[in-house]
Structure 1
């Protein structure tokens, strides 16, 4: 919550305070001597109040709506909070939202975020990003992140296609756009683990109706894990044309390149179970000379908003996005087990065979979404009607090839107590991808938001037609289907006072499953959510949402007991519990954040009776966060900001059979910053007490663990010109 101070006499007073200079100098000395983590841009801002509270969002309804009028849990993280906490990744941002399962950077190519126990989609400027690796987004150009909880968040394009779903909800990112304000910002960061980087934000008006903006990031970092590194290159140019108050066109381009070394986690023997031996946390079970894993995303997004008359307005979103992943990985199997390279662990704890594969994916998605919004009034009822059409076409080319054709990199066993890893054996790539999937989605929708006095109603219908062509002869997959379904959404809000309201909502979602061998063409996987909650709006400085939810997922693909190797859609999973998200502005200088979740997330139906009642993989029963930030706004310490937080989760299931759990844990973080005129110095610490613990790894959907991030410290300098 730092602010600019341009009074020269005040500047001289601040410069004269040797205590402050000593404090900042000491902080930077510590930063270079200890461990570091990546950090997005930190901007210099004017004095502010209530920066942690977002008053209206469009992510939940596709129209700009006050949060307290929406009958569903929607939690926002604004730019101010991202900056003040020194967030490095999207996962760091989402720790400030209840019931979101976080993702370790080493797992970022293997899993998406979970909300309320189920997978979610990442939406950037109204377009769903495709793939199981959508959490790499750079924070350098992020204006706001909105989390919409539940399947009724399936509002953008043809999500719910193939391997992408919105059962848990969506993580909606809004990026910065060009404006008529001149902006010149430059940031630097340094720390341990070899971290270094720079970022910039330049906005330039070209005329009274035209503006250009460019943001970018370059960062490098090693990690606690041997040989694992992170490189990020990002560039986001944009152009805004506003010829009149009725017309606005924004063109955004994106280029995002993430490079790392694949990491498959560690076995539970030697980590959670140290009765036989102890495995060093830095261990990386990987072939020698393993090639890098690359993830490149590029695209174009065009948004046109046109006010037609006093009642109606028109909008058009059209986008093209392309993602290419080239992942080479190695992992261990028991040398005495059947081949297949899908089992992790060993009956002989320290003796294993190393297996490897190359997974390559190239996705191209075209999106077109026109819509009309009308503001009408009939008597006391005010209607906001939104109707439109979403067209989305995804081409998904992939292959997965094992080393040496069967997966074994080398038949020489690896002894983890004295490892000697064999050289990488590059699989022979096919001339054409053996998996060439096509997903075509056409969605028509209508939504009405009605305001009548203290009542606020919402009702919508979406008709989705989804064609799936998921054919992979090498794996025996032949899923060709054409499914259509209407999914409703209804809800109401009653405002007892302008500061206290009660809401209730019901919504449905759908997904067409893929990547399994079905005995019959797949039918839609369905999800439903019922939610009841209470909201506070700036009640003694407190803005909060407390919600009870019941979320069910059915027609889940599970193993066919009558046909081994095939799947049937007979599974059912359920998550129910309570979420709390609270922001308290105790004073203009002092802000608090609190989140809490208590839930039961489990398998309720499965062909394997032993799985019924099992806790969903990597979903805690309880989680919480408490954080505070104080910015000195007057006196000798003006410009100094201090932050402290703690994040907690209960034990985490390491696989779907619940054969092991990682322990519950609480981790502290801290921040200190000092703003002086056009500069801001910062020091950000994650895992303040350097707690050593493990979390489940998502590699091959569980079965192993990842050593959680140790204490990491980053020193930053951000300048505004």
Structure 2
């Protein structure tokens, strides 16, 4: 028995090597242009046949046999018949053996059926088309797609058709329009968003409308579901490594995710287009994410007061009409264990009421030398109700509880990083942060007629946080003694309330075609921050030697024994009215015009001292797209941002609002018949009246004048050949302080912004044969030298991190092993408070096994 197993293993190793060399070239010959997909509306269903062990074809023992098996693994469609019948239309695909059950979707007026493991082998041509076969049907087409698929597209004149699908031993029959399904028929049902692979053609973040990326005059990138899955991403910050011009900022003791986009720090994130604003919140959860969209540059024209660098929009999964149940278990280094579920399906017989439930539990030891664990619970139920063919409702809830060590990281030494182990802590082992979050959202979409749509949404989000830590202070580099100024115990609460109403319409004025969007936003943020610290007669934490630390020498006082150093309360009300017009002059020339008027009222209280201010602002955006060739878009844009300052001076006064202005030019190209896209952008972005930490009073802020960021960015994503995918980026960023009243900060580089950064992830999955479903991935992530703080008194060194993965999927099962930081490189992930920085994780292994049925 052992000998047979060893022989089988040798065969797999040999043939997997041959597959990696030969398969891309063999499969590329059968690939033709794939029909454009409108991803936000694409939907699908999937029925999986149970594979019995006796049905498995035995592996080849020679290369000739192996090649023969590859050729025989695809079912050939040798004929297509389109016949008008008494009840409509009958489409027959003729084959010599049964076809697999297709995946179906609806795009516009087209019903699409994708058949796996099949190729067209027609006598005259490998593309079949018939125009206007019967009344109400504009086109029937049958084509071959990459990855050994055959696509049938039935396009209706006024609406997408319906059909019954009958599987027969000698082919496939689609009957249009739909009749009563017989027992052996499989009814085509639209069930949800179609898996989109690496390329996403449309996104809503940039325009709040479902717009092709090629028509957007601003840099926008999408990290799709397949990348999240292949890289086993459980933190949003790891997804953003794949995108140019974005990195992680000060994580406040490694307790939250913040971002530096085009040189500028931000804590703001969108979730399904709703703003989540909180200075202190847990790491965003990925268990219910469909994809991540990143719009770079000012987005205030649509979303109100935002930082000018850009915005991250987390797009979550929606309920499906066809039952699907997925279970996954991830486990790996540092005691990591993470089970998760994804359950969805209908709740009534006509499938108009649907649900989805995503949940995850995570527990792990931190790679840093702490005693306590990381523990995390996440639950996200969703209900959708298709009230009528024109109206639908979506109700979403999310709950998250997160507890982990509070960790300022390691300290700077001279103009670099202290030469100490990267797992050494400089606080106390019982420093901790606890966060609890809850959100609820209701979205209503109503189609007034075929051209006009009304959208309404309301969302509530709250987070309660507590932080307990020993505050690090100054380092004596001669002795290695690090003083710690006080015991700190902070509590904060944030509440966000958002209301969105918009109407979108399409119309023409002469030769011009318009997509008009008019909307009103109401947003309220309230937050409280209660900081308690130890002062005399309470003894501060004793100093710690960074080279020979001793912990637990001081007595940590209870919260009730600490003095209320300051209490801060803030309330911001924001009313915004916006208008946007996407104008198509010709097929190759398009304009984007938009403007927003904001009224912001801000009331703050600092240790009982009240202050208030009202601000009004108009923020425009102008853009032009020119497409000299269908796969090439050239664009230019001008945009501005506006946001109130949450910082206060040492006197307790609010700082004046910040403003940003960006000029951007770029080009977006589509290669390999749209399977691969590249976006090249150049920009100049300025931000004025910025709040930073007061160097003389670290709990307060000052306005330092103006900062400028300019650079060049390149993003590439897509499918090079069937099964071979790539996502890559490069950014050159020059971000500096340009005006500060003549202070020493002028000319300094902005913190945590590498001048050069790049990423590459590529994967290949074997498409057919005995090893079909086996895949490999490798990634490189580079960040150049960067300043650790605004004073530029120490530098964070560059690094290259190498990742890899092996995965295998067959039928409803998927297993994977990911290796992160393979060469165990010591690197700094982000700069922190003062002269502290957070190190990245060492060599890490994360395995997973998932089943879906």
Describe the SS at the equivalent of 2:238: helix
Q: Is the 8 A contact 1:479 1:518 kept in 2?
A: no
Of 287, 303, 308, the residue aligned with 2:448 is 308
Describe the SS at the equivalent of 1:610: coil
Cα 1:704–1:15 shift into 2, 3 Å: farther
Q: Distance in 2 between matches of 1:558 and 1:573?
A: 12
Equivalent in the alignment of 1:205? 346
Point out the structure with max Rg over C-alpha.
2
1:155 deviates by: 2.4
Cα 1:643–1:655 shift into 2, 3 Å: same
Equivalent in the alignment of 2:471? 331
Q: Does residue 1:69 correspond to 2:209, yes or no?
A: no
1:569 deviates by: 3.9
Q: Distance in 2 between matches of 1:690 and 1:409?
A: 37
Of 817, 838, 842, the residue aligned with 1:706 is 838
1:256 deviates by: 1.1
Equivalent in the alignment of 1:420? 551
1:9 deviates by: 7.4
Describe the SS at the equivalent of 1:244: coil
Equivalent in the alignment of 1:592? 726
Q: Is the 8 A contact 2:566 2:606 kept in 1?
A: no
Q: Does residue 1:86 correspond to 2:225, yes or no?
A: no
Q: Is the 8 A contact 1:479 1:517 kept in 2?
A: no
Query: Within 5 Å, which residues of 2 pair with 1:443-454?
Result: 443-453=576-586, 454=588
- Cα-to-partner distance string for 1:144-185 (whole Å, 9 max, x where unaligned): 1100001125623x5x3xxxx422111001101112021100
Cα 1:498–1:108 shift into 2, 3 Å: farther
Q: Does residue 1:385 correspond to 2:516, yes or no?
A: yes
Query: Within 5 Å, which residues of 2 pair with 1:128-277?
Result: 128-134=275-281, 136-152=283-299, 155-156=302-303, 158=304, 160=305, 165-207=306-348, 208=350, 209-227=352-370, 229-269=373-413, 272=416
Q: Distance in 1 between matches of 2:489 and 2:425?
A: 18
Q: Does residue 1:717 correspond to 2:849, yes or no?
A: yes
Q: Is the 8 A contact 1:4 1:677 kept in 2?
A: no
Q: Is the 8 A contact 1:285 1:331 kept in 2?
A: no
Equivalent in the alignment of 2:260? 114
Query: Within 5 Å, which residues of 2 pair with 1:345-494?
Result: 345-354=475-484, 355-404=486-535, 409-411=540-542, 416-421=547-552, 422-428=554-560, 434-453=567-586, 454-473=588-607, 479-494=611-626
- Uncovered stretches (5+) of structure 1, i.e. residues with no partner: 19-44, 335-344
Q: Is the 8 A contact 1:490 1:507 kept in 2?
A: yes
Q: Which moved more, 1:667-676 or 1:225-234?
A: 225-234
Describe the SS at the equivalent of 1:609: coil
Q: Does residue 1:102 correspond to 2:248, yes or no?
A: yes
Query: Within 5 Å, which residues of 2 pair with 1:448-597?
Result: 448-453=581-586, 454-473=588-607, 479-517=611-649, 522-539=655-672, 541-557=675-691, 569=703, 571-597=705-731
1:240 deviates by: 0.3
Q: Distance in 2 between matches of 1:561 and 1:93?
A: 34
Q: Is the 8 A contact 2:535 2:563 kept in 1?
A: no
- Cα-to-partner distance string for 1:432-462 (whole Å, 9 max, x where unaligned): 9822211111001111111121111111110
Q: Distance in 2 between matches of 1:690 and 1:377?
A: 59
Q: Distance in 1 between matches of 2:757 and 2:550?
A: 37
Q: Distance in 2 between matches of 1:524 and 1:654?
A: 26
Cα 1:238–1:414 shift into 2, 3 Å: same
Q: Is the 8 A contact 2:301 2:594 kept in 1?
A: no
1:677 deviates by: 2.0
Q: Does residue 1:683 correspond to 2:830, yes or no?
A: no
The answer to which structure, 1 or 2, has the higher relative contact order (CA under 8 A, 6+ apart) is: 1
Q: Distance in 2 between matches of 1:644 and 1:5?
A: 29
Equivalent in the alignment of 1:337? none
Describe the SS at the equivalent of 1:322: strand
Of 752, 768, 779, the residue aligned with 1:618 is 752
Q: Distance in 1 between matches of 2:345 and 2:440?
A: 20
Cα 1:456–1:352 shift into 2, 3 Å: same
Q: Is the 8 A contact 1:574 1:601 kept in 2?
A: yes
Q: Which moved more, 1:429-438 or 1:87-96?
A: 429-438
Q: Is the 8 A contact 1:144 1:175 kept in 2?
A: yes
1:528 deviates by: 0.7
Q: Which moved more, 1:360-369 or 1:553-562?
A: 553-562
Aligned length: 670
Cα 1:225–1:575 shift into 2, 3 Å: same
Q: Please, what is the CA RMSD of the aligned residues?
A: 3.0
Cα 1:407–1:462 shift into 2, 3 Å: farther
Of 778, 782, 790, the residue aligned with 1:644 is 778
Q: Distance in 2 between matches of 1:557 and 1:281?
A: 31
TM-score (norm 1): 0.87
Q: Distance in 1 between matches of 2:816 and 2:694?
A: 55
Describe the SS at the equivalent of 1:514: coil
Q: Which moved more, 1:428-437 or 1:683-692?
A: 428-437
Cα 1:11–1:134 shift into 2, 3 Å: farther
Q: Distance in 1 between matches of 2:764 and 2:412?
A: 41
Describe the SS at the equivalent of 1:713: strand
- Uncovered stretches (5+) of structure 2, i.e. residues with no partner: 1-45, 62-114, 118-145, 148-195
Q: Is the 8 A contact 1:556 1:570 kept in 2?
A: yes
Cα 1:524–1:418 shift into 2, 3 Å: closer
Q: Is the 8 A contact 1:455 1:493 kept in 2?
A: yes
Q: Is the 8 A contact 2:455 2:502 kept in 1?
A: yes
- Cα-to-partner distance string for 1:508-566 (whole Å, 9 max, x where unaligned): 00111122217765332100111000011245543011000111001223689999998
1:397 deviates by: 1.3
Q: Which moved more, 1:292-301 or 1:262-271?
A: 262-271
Q: Which moved more, 1:555-564 or 1:81-90?
A: 555-564
1:674 deviates by: 0.9
Q: Is the 8 A contact 2:248 2:829 kept in 1?
A: no
